[in-house]
Structure formats: structure tokens, C-alpha cells
Structure 1
Amino acid sequence: MQKHIFNIHDVVLFMTVAECFLLVIFQAILPVKNQLANRLLSTFLISIAITSACILVLWNDDVSLFTAFDEYLLPYFLVIAQMLKGPLLLIYVIALTEDAFKLARRHLVHLIPAAVAVAWLALFQIDSTDLRFRTLGMTETERQIANGVWHFIKIMPFFYALAAVNRVRLYRIGLHNQYSNFSPTEPSWLNILTLGFLFTWSFSILVHVIANTVALAAPQISDLFGIAENYIIFILINALFVNSVVHTHKLLTTKPEAAKDKVDEKLTDTAIQKVQQGMEIQKLFLKQNLNIDEFSKRINLPVKEVSAVINKHYGTNFFEFMNSYRVEEAKRLLSDNQHADMTVMDVLLHAGFNSKSAFHRFFNRLVGMSPTEYRKQNMNKEVKIA
């Protein structure tokens, strides 16, 4: 009877490796506007593939390449791939969301954790057998040194995932501060993905803790959690690819927030007046897809002063500020008999909205009823007065 090299769980690891490389090839031929983000995503996928392949070779005794790799080189490939996936995820998110982002020398700092881990392997001459804790006569100190590698490569990706989640949070704040209209779908996808990796890498730490506490008494528990982690990674890789194809090209980019200075503390009457004139005389809110850069140019006021006026004087952000004026314009149109022939869609477009869902969401929140209900109520009032 033939011996089975792979069980179904190893097949998932193998499929993850194969799919990552296939997606890298697909990314290479896919037309994208953000080439840097595309390259970062491809490198991230390669790091996931290498990590999964190394895990497969490390723990499956029937899978091997050649002795020198299996015993001595594999720990270095595993550590480097594992330590780079966190920074790659974070920088990928930044490249997607920050306007005109470029890699710089300062980003080399993210290589330091990988360099430290590699130095640790080299200094203590840790090989694959040590990482499996199968070295004959292994002392407790040697076991702790080898386990230190696992501690490090499990914990570091978690902190980078945390940073990526925070980066998406700041990005959403930036969208509200810099745009008057945007689709929430793409930021939500990005948020779900970063939270997904945060959960997965948190789960990986849990697996590691279980392996170090209850694995000796109940090894099946550790194996079960480890297998679940592999399935989650496989699902996330597929979701990441779907997001890159369907949603990332629609993402708006934001400019880094300017450093706060005295303009935030003391607003000038001239600045406030210019913003008011832009809204009440020029009626710039009627322009769809207006962003804060274009608004500042139209009223001849620096972006940081526009932002300061809206944030400090009006106590809101650019997104809310613009759409509150648009709702008032919509109320005017809906309550005017001269515009009774306008549909709700006509009204929202004329008021400056470009999304039906955003219009209804804002109108209901600010007015307390739907646009249709508001129109009926105001038309009834006019009939009674007549």
C-alpha cells in the first residue's frame, strides 16, 4: 500500500503556496495605476508562500528538497519571510492610501527585526532540528534559545498588523477631512482585510502559546489550532486578491495631515469669511466630488487654514461640512412647488451628492425623516396654507 505524503491539511498549505505564486503572475500582467502598491502586494504574497512552504517542509518529514536546505537554510528562509510579511502589509496599505507615496531610506528600518532574527540564528547556530525541538541531548537553555526565534517571529507580525489597522483608521479620518464625497465600500474592504490579518497573526500567537503550554499533555489541541490558522490564511489570501482586482483601483488617496501650527489655535476672521463666502455665495458644495484641495484653490486660502476653520470654527470635518450644506439645498428643492417635478434622484444630484445611499443616510440623520417624507410633509403644509 502506498504511503500518503500529504494529508488534507498539508494540501491546504501546498495550495496556499501555489496560489500565491499564481497570483503574483496574475498581478504582473494585470493593468494597474499604482505600480508600487502592486509590487508590494506581489512581494507580500511571495513572503506568505515562502513561509507556508517552509512550514510544510519543517513539519512534514516526508517533504524535503535537499539536505543542506532542509537542515541549515530553511530556518533563514522561514525567519526572513515571516519577518518581512508584517512590514510589507503595512507599507502596502500606506502605498494604497497615501497620495504620491514613494519608498525612502527611512523604510529600511523595517528590515531591522529580520536582521536581528537572522543574527540570532547564526549566533546560536540554530538549524531545523532545533526549531522542531528534536535535537538529541538538547538542554533547557538551548530549547529556550530556539524557542526565542519562534517568540520573535510570531509576535512581530502582530504589531505590524496592528499598525496597518491603525493606518486604515487614519486613512478613513483623512477621507472625511479631505473629500466631500467618497464610496465607503473600498475603505471597508481594506479595513476588513487588515483586521483579518490582525486576527490571523493574533491567532498565530495563541497557537504558539498553546504549543508551549498544553501541547505536551494534549498535542492534538495544538495541531488543531495550527491547522485552523492555515485555513484562515488561505481564505485571507483569496480575499486579498479579490480586493486588489475589484476595489483597490477605486481607492481615493489622502495627503498626510499637515503639522499643526498657530493657525489651529487662532483663526482669522478673513479665513472664516472666505470659507463662508465659498459656501454661501459661490455655492461650491454643489460641485460633486469636490475635495479640500480644489475648495482651497477656489477660495484662495491654504488647505491647512481651510481645515482649521472647518475643524475649529464649525467643529466638524470637510465631509460632514459639505454634505450638511447639500442637505439644506436638498430641503429647499424638496419643499419648493416650483421643483415638484424633480425626482429625488434629480434633487440629490442637483444638491451636489453623487451617491443615493450617502444622500439618504445624511438626510435621514440630519432631518430625521426620508426625503420623500419631507417632501410630502412640506407639500401638505403649503396646501393647508392655500
Structure 2
Amino acid sequence: MKDYIFNVHDVVLLMTAAECLLLSIFQQVLPIRARNYGLLLTAFLLIVATASACTLVMWNDQFQVAPLFGQTLLPYLLFGALMLKGPAIYLYVSALTQQNLRLQRHHALHLVPALLLVLYLFIFDLSSDDLRRIAIAGQGFPESAVDLVWDISTAVPLAYALAAVLSLRRYRGELEDEYSHFSTTELHWLNILTYGVLISWGWTLAVHVLAKYSSVETADLLGIADNYVTFILINAFFAYSLSYAHQLLVTRPSSSRESAPGEPSDSAITKVRQAMEVEKLYLKKNLNLEQFSGRIELPAKEVSAVINKHFGTNFFEFINSYRVEEAKALLADAGRADMTVLDVLMESGFNSKSAFHRFFSRLVGMSPTEYRRQALNKKEVASV
């Protein structure tokens, strides 16, 4: 009877490593795009490939390698990769959401946790058997030292995943401060992927904790589930890179985002209000903060201060609230009853049905169709 080297779960790890290598190669032959995130995605793919391959070799007893590599070098590769996958995903998200991000010297600080853990392995001379908690006759392994290695290698990536999620939340806030309209599809999918990583690595930490208080079989099953999730996420990230990543909007560099000092002046408030109520700049589709500030001849940071401090909102909400009021006037006009809802949203400055319905329902408390019906019925009753 044949002895199988790999079971089906090992094959998932093997496929993950192989696919990451192929996707990283494919990523490099894609046409160069304006924003530099391809290199960081490639780095992430190669790191995951290394971690998957090392995990497979370490935990598969049927897969024989040279003792020098299997016992001595393998832990450095595995835990180096586990510690670097967090910085890789965080920097990838940063490159997607920041304008012209370039790797600089201070980014090298993200390597420090990995280097420290590798140094820790070297100082305690921890082998693969030690890390698997396999005791060899005449030799013991420091359990507390082994526990600390696994604790750090699961907690640090999770912290970076959380940082990536927070970075995306900040990015959305910046978009709302700068644009009156933006597509949420690309950002929505990136949110799903980033939260997927956070949940996956949170699951890894939970498995690590549960393994201390459950049977070996249960811990193995939980760990295997994590391998499947990783395989799915890798494919999802690459598909996102091909389909959506290049469509994300850029925001202004942080140096130009400084708030205007003090409270906004009365003249600035008047200019902003006049631009909305008299000139009706909100009717311009895809209006952004720079265009708006240019039309009223005020610095962008001063306009932002007026909207944030005086009106108590952001540019996105500010412009669209005026558009909703314009839409209400059109819907309540009996002379325009033949206009479709699509005509109304376009004429009021919106260019997205989903954004229009979302804002209208939230601000008015009913759908545009229901609002029109009620408004026209009231006018009919009043005229009788």
C-alpha cells in the first residue's frame, strides 16, 4: 500500500504557495500603472508563498528535507515570513489609498519586529522540533520561549491588519472631505478584503489560544480552516488588483490638508453659502473641493474649515444635502411630473442612482417616489 506524502489539506498549502509564486510573476508583467502598489502586492504574495511552503515542510512528517534546513534554517524563514505579512498588507493598502506612496527609509522600521523575532530564535537556538513541541531524548525545549514565539507571530500580523482597516476608514473620511461624489464599489471591495484579512488573522490568534486548552485534533482542524481562508483571500486580492485597485481616487498629500487656524471668517462663510444658494455650484457633477474653492477664490483649507466648523459636516455631505433639496423641489413641482426619477437625480447634480437613493432616503425619510406622491397629493388637496 502506498504512503501518501501529502493529504488534501497539505495540497491546499502547496497550491497556495504555488499560486502565490505564479501570481507574483504575472503581477510583474502587467502594464505599469500610475500608482505604485504592484510591487507591494508582489511582496505580499511572495511572503505568503514562503509562509505556506515553510508551514507545509515543518508540519508534514512525510516530507523529508536536509536536517540543516529542516531543523535550523526553516524556523527563520517561517517566522520571518509570518512577521512580514502584516507590514506587507498594511503598506499595500497604504499605497492604494495614498497619492504617490514611495518606499522610504522610515518604512524599514516595519522590518524591526521580524528581525527581533529571528534574533530571538537564534539566541534560544529553537529548532523546528522545539517549535512543534517535540521533545527529544536528553533534550528539553523552553516551553515559555516557544509560546512567546507563537504569540508574537500571531499577534503582530493581526495588529497590522487592524492598522490597515483603520487606514481605510481614514481614507474614506478624506474622500468625503474632498469629493462631492465618488464610487463606493472599489472601496467596498477593498474593505471586504481587508476585513477578511483581519478576521482570518484574528482566527489564527484564536486558534493559537484555543490550542493551549483543547485537544491536538481540534487545534489541527481549526488551523486547517485558516489555511483554506488564506487560499481564498490570495485569489481575491489578486482579482481586486486587476479589477478595481487602479480606479481608487487619490487624496491630497497630508501637507496640504492642514486645517485653517482659528474659526472661519464671516466673509468666507458668506462666500461658501452664496456659492451654494445663488450660484448653485452643487449642480456641477463630480465636483471636488479644489474645484469648488477655485470657483469662489478661497484656499481649499479655508473652505474645508468653513464646512467642517461652521456647517458641522464634510464636503461630501454638504454638497449632497443641497442636491437632495434641489431634487425635492423638482419632485414636488407638478409641472415636472413627467420627469423620471433618473432625470431628477441627474438634474439635481447626482450622477449615481445608488448615492441619490441613499442620501434622499436618509435625509428625507422616504424614497423619492413616495416623496413625489405625497407632495403632489398635498398640492391637489390644497387646490381644491
TM-score, normalised via structure 1 length: 0.92
TM-superposed deviation, 1:119: 1.1
* Residue pair 2:260, 2:301 contacting (<8 A) in 1 also: no
Query: Could you tell me how far apart the structure 2 residues matched to 1:146 and 1:364 are?
Result: 55
Query: Could you tell me how far apart the structure 2 residues matched to 1:134 and 1:34 are?
Result: 50
TM-superposed deviation, 1:246: 2.0
Instruction: Say yes or no: does 1:170 pair with 2:170.
Output: yes
TM-superposed deviation, 1:249: 2.1
**Matching residue of 1:69:** 69
Query: Could you tell me how far apart the structure 2 residues matched to 1:192 and 1:254 are?
Result: 21
TM-superposed deviation, 1:180: 0.8
Q: What is the SS of the residue equivalent to 2:33?
A: coil
The number of equivalent residue pairs is 381
* Residue pair 1:161, 1:194 contacting (<8 A) in 2 also: yes
1:298-335 deviations in whole A, cap 9, x for unaligned? 22222221111111111111111000111111122223
**Matching residue of 1:116:** 116
User: RMSD of the alignment, in Å?
Assistant: 2.0
* Residue pair 1:275, 1:299 contacting (<8 A) in 2 also: yes
TM-superposed deviation, 1:276: 1.3
Residue identity in the other structure for 1:117: L
Residue identity in the other structure for 2:243: V
Query: Could you tell me how far apart the structure 2 residues matched to 1:73 and 1:35 are?
Result: 36
* Residue pair 1:360, 1:371 contacting (<8 A) in 2 also: yes
* Residue pair 1:34, 1:96 contacting (<8 A) in 2 also: no
**Matching residue of 1:87:** 87
TM-superposed deviation, 1:259: 6.4
TM-superposed deviation, 1:118: 1.5
Query: Could you tell me how far apart the structure 2 residues matched to 1:93 and 1:255 are?
Result: 16
Query: Could you tell me how far apart the structure 2 residues matched to 1:31 and 1:340 are?
Result: 49
- Structure 1 gaps of 5+ residues are none
Residue identity in the other structure for 2:304: S
TM-superposed deviation, 1:379: 3.2
Mark the CA change 1:356 to 1:146 in structure 2 (over 3 Å): closer, same or farther: same
TM-superposed deviation, 1:383: 4.2
Instruction: Say yes or no: does 1:279 pair with 2:276.
Output: yes
**Matching residue of 1:333:** 330
Instruction: Say yes or no: does 1:230 pair with 2:231.
Output: no
* Residue pair 1:207, 1:222 contacting (<8 A) in 2 also: yes
Query: Could you tell me how far apart the structure 2 residues matched to 1:342 and 1:168 are?
Result: 38
* Residue pair 1:20, 1:46 contacting (<8 A) in 2 also: yes
**Matching residue of 1:151:** 151
* Residue pair 1:210, 1:222 contacting (<8 A) in 2 also: yes
**Matching residue of 1:371:** 368
Query: Could you tell me how far apart the structure 1 residues matched to 2:32 and 2:286 are?
Result: 22
Query: Could you tell me how far apart the structure 1 residues matched to 2:35 and 2:331 are?
Result: 46
Mark the CA change 1:124 to 1:334 in structure 2 (over 3 Å): closer, same or farther: same
Query: Could you tell me how far apart the structure 2 residues matched to 1:347 and 1:111 are?
Result: 54
Choose the corresponding residue for 1:345, options 338, 342, 345: 342
**Matching residue of 1:26:** 26
* Residue pair 1:32, 1:249 contacting (<8 A) in 2 also: no
Residue identity in the other structure for 1:100: N
Structure 2 counterparts to residues 120-139 of structure 1, below 5 A: 120-136=120-136, 137-139=138-140
Instruction: Say yes or no: does 1:252 pair with 2:249.
Output: yes
Query: Could you tell me how far apart the structure 1 residues matched to 2:171 and 2:38 are?
Result: 19
Query: Could you tell me how far apart the structure 1 residues matched to 2:186 and 2:297 are?
Result: 32
Query: Could you tell me how far apart the structure 2 residues matched to 1:64 and 1:189 are?
Result: 41
Residue identity in the other structure for 2:188: S
Instruction: Say yes or no: does 1:317 pair with 2:305.
Output: no
Residue identity in the other structure for 2:59: W
Residue identity in the other structure for 2:228: Y
TM-superposed deviation, 1:135: 4.5
* Residue pair 1:97, 1:171 contacting (<8 A) in 2 also: yes
1:17-70 deviations in whole A, cap 9, x for unaligned? 111112212322333525521111111011111001000000102224433322
Mark the CA change 1:207 to 1:378 in structure 2 (over 3 Å): closer, same or farther: closer
Structure 2 counterparts to residues 212-223 of structure 1, below 5 A: 212-214=212-214, 218-223=215-220
Q: What is the SS of the residue equivalent to 2:285?
A: coil
**Matching residue of 2:295:** 298
* Residue pair 2:82, 2:157 contacting (<8 A) in 1 also: yes
TM-superposed deviation, 1:124: 2.3
Residue identity in the other structure for 2:244: H
* Residue pair 2:259, 2:302 contacting (<8 A) in 1 also: no
Query: Could you tell me how far apart the structure 1 residues matched to 2:342 and 2:32 are?
Result: 33
Q: What is the SS of the residue equivalent to 1:36?
A: coil
Q: What is the SS of the residue equivalent to 1:213?
A: coil
Query: Could you tell me how far apart the structure 2 residues matched to 1:204 and 1:32 are?
Result: 35
Runs of 4+ displaced beyond 6 Å: none
Deviates more, 1:317-326 or 1:177-186: 177-186
Query: Could you tell me how far apart the structure 2 residues matched to 1:113 and 1:325 are?
Result: 49
TM-score, normalised via structure 2 length: 0.93
Mark the CA change 1:340 to 1:201 in structure 2 (over 3 Å): closer, same or farther: same
1:98-133 deviations in whole A, cap 9, x for unaligned? 122222211111111011011112222222222222
Query: Could you tell me how far apart the structure 2 residues matched to 1:166 and 1:260 are?
Result: 20
* Residue pair 1:82, 1:157 contacting (<8 A) in 2 also: yes
